[in-house]
Amino acid sequence: MFTIKQENVRLERSINLYSALALVIGTVIGSGIFFKQASVLSYSHSTTLALLAWFLGGILTLTSGLTIAEIGSQMPETGGLYTYMHNLYGKLWGFLSGWMQITVYGPAVIAALGAYLAILLQAFFGFSATYTPYVGVLSVVLISAFNFLSNRFGSALQIITTICKLVPIFAIIIFGLMFGDQNAVGQVLAEQSTTVAGNFGVAILATLFAYDGWILIANMGGEIKNPQRILPLAIVLGLSIVLLIYVFVSYSVFKTMPADMIARYGENATPHFAEMAFGKLGGKILNIGIIISILGCMNGKVMTMPRIMYAMAKNNELPFSKQLAYLNPTMHTPMVSITVIATIASGMILTVDPDRLTEICIFTVYCFYVMTFFGVFKLRRQDSQAKRPFSVPLYPLTPIVAILGAAFVLVSELFSDLSGVLISLMIVLCGIPIFYYKEKQKK
């Protein structure tokens, strides 16, 4: 398979604005909006502050997106964060950001989605819980095999699943706005805490994780039509739509259910809302919507994560780079990289807690975010007169806010999960000998 000449085989630039938008919206909206209402409310202690947390989390994410949009418009290549770090700070930093994403973070995110999808399917169809890990693996395998096909097929699936997941979301919004009889603003939980300020920060942190995943569209830079225009537009427009959806869903839930009831139901608050609004059938429909939402989110991750491995292999930075950089000559997809990522993710489902692995990697992911945000200042200082396809508005305020938002996550992780921070740094450091081994091979 690997003896076929690859000189004329390239990634296919076939992703248009609608596909790129579906990737941004579909990879961000997973299960968080359906299950995070109660936790954000519990941390905030009032519906007013909870809505503010969702809004501020969206604004912080949007400033990050605007900052990356300027960088991405100048580096419209496959690899996303890896490519930006590589071009801004050199090969070692680029390699380390990519290494962390392809060995642990990316596969763990896919594995966590697969495992959660299996739990939802088990609850919906009622098969034995013994089979859930295998159903999770099967879902990862099937989605990965589907992405062996041209990216046109993956994009089409992303558009379909995004539209399907928006149907129950809009139903929740419309019902809440029209028929809700509670005060969406001003409700306060019965048990008030004396540490509202600190807890409000945790509430914003919870929403930031619900907004995460938007940057993965940048991994497809080499497959987007007119990326200098479409990539920034997809990031900014997609995140703006997600922000509005998150705020309006929260507002509708708060308008329909008393705050204490939401806190009492916890993760089941939104499913209970669906049953209140539309009966048992409504609950089933919402469950189907959540399943489709997770499916679309996983498809977006499987489409985008292997592109990092492919980009690194094209630069001959990984063991077996020749094989990992292989593109199917008919479908123009990195089949081997997809297979490797899917294999690691499947192994994680069967052996470890992938959710915990994603939490462990958050610190280093945001370290690379901060470095990339600083890259805007670096690029402008290098050539202040350069023509930029996209310029971040309100410069330098916007990137400064993005940096402060990412720094807030870093400080929070240091205080709340020091062991996870140390493990994530060790994972990154393990890549250094591999990098220098490959560099020595090249010489």
* Concatenated DSSP letters of 197-245: HHHHHHHHHHHHHHHTTGGGGGGBGGGBSSHHHHHHHHHHHHHHHHHHH
Tokens matching residue 135: 């159903």
- State the Cα–Cα distance between residues 335 and 135, nearest whole angstrom: 22
The model's pLDDT over 201-222, given as tens digits with 9 standing for 90+, comes to: 888 988 988 898 899 999 999 8
Closest by CA to 422, choosing from 365, 369, 370, 364, is: 364
Torsion, CA 192, CA 196, CA 202, CA 203, rounded to 10: 70
Using left for φ > 0, alpha for ψ between -120 and 50, and beta otherwise, residue 92 falls in alpha
pTM: 0.91
Which domains can be identified in the chain, with CATH numbers? 17-442 (1.20.1740.10)
Predicted confidence at residue 416, as pLDDT, reads 87
Distances (CA, A) of 436 to 49, 359, 423, 433: 49, 28, 21, 5
Packed helices 397-416 and 418-429: angle between N→C axes, nearest 10 degrees: 110
DSSP 266: G
The answer to whether 2 and 323 have CB atoms below 8 angstroms apart is yes
- Cα 406 from Cα 373, distance rounded (Å): 9
Residues 223-235: pLDDT tens digits? 999 999 999 999 9
pLDDT recorded at residue 5? 58
- How far apart CA 365 and CA 370 sit, in angstroms, is 9
| Share of the chain residues as helix, strand and coil, in percent rounded to the nearest 5 | 80, 0, 20
pLDDT of residue 184: 85
Question: How confident is the model at residue 6, as a pLDDT?
Answer: 61
Distance CA 360, CA 362 (A): 6
Q: Which of 392, 80, 21 is nearest to 234 (CA)?
A: 21
Q: How far is CA 442 from the centre of its chain?
A: 34
- Whether residue 340 contacts residue 309, with contact meaning beta carbons closer than 8 Å, is answered with yes
Q: Percent of the chain scored above 90 by pLDDT? A: 63
Specify the pLDDT at position 209. 86
The per-residue pLDDT string of the chain (443 residues; one tens digit each, 9 = 90 and over) reads 454 556 667 788 889 999 999 999 999 988 777 778 888 998 888 999 999 999 999 999 999 999 999 999 999 899 999 999 999 999 999 999 999 999 999 999 999 999 989 988 988 888 888 999 999 999 999 999 999 999 999 999 999 999 998 988 898 899 999 988 888 888 888 765 444 545 888 889 889 888 988 999 999 998 999 999 999 999 999 999 999 999 999 999 999 989 888 888 887 787 778 888 888 887 788 888 888 989 999 999 999 999 999 999 999 999 999 999 999 899 989 999 999 999 999 999 999 988 888 889 899 999 999 999 999 999 999 877 778 899 999 999 999 999 999 999 999 999 888 999 999 999 999 999 999 999 988 77
Confirm if 12 and 172 have CB atoms less than 8 A apart: no
Beta carbons within 8 Å of 27's beta carbon, 6+ residues apart: 213, 214, 216, 217, 297, 300, 301, 304
- Give start and end residues of each alpha helix (H) in 29-90: 32-35, 37-44, 47-74, 81-89
How far is Cα of residue 213 from the mean position of the Cα atoms in its chain? Answer: 2
- Under 8 Å between Cβ of 298 and 127: no
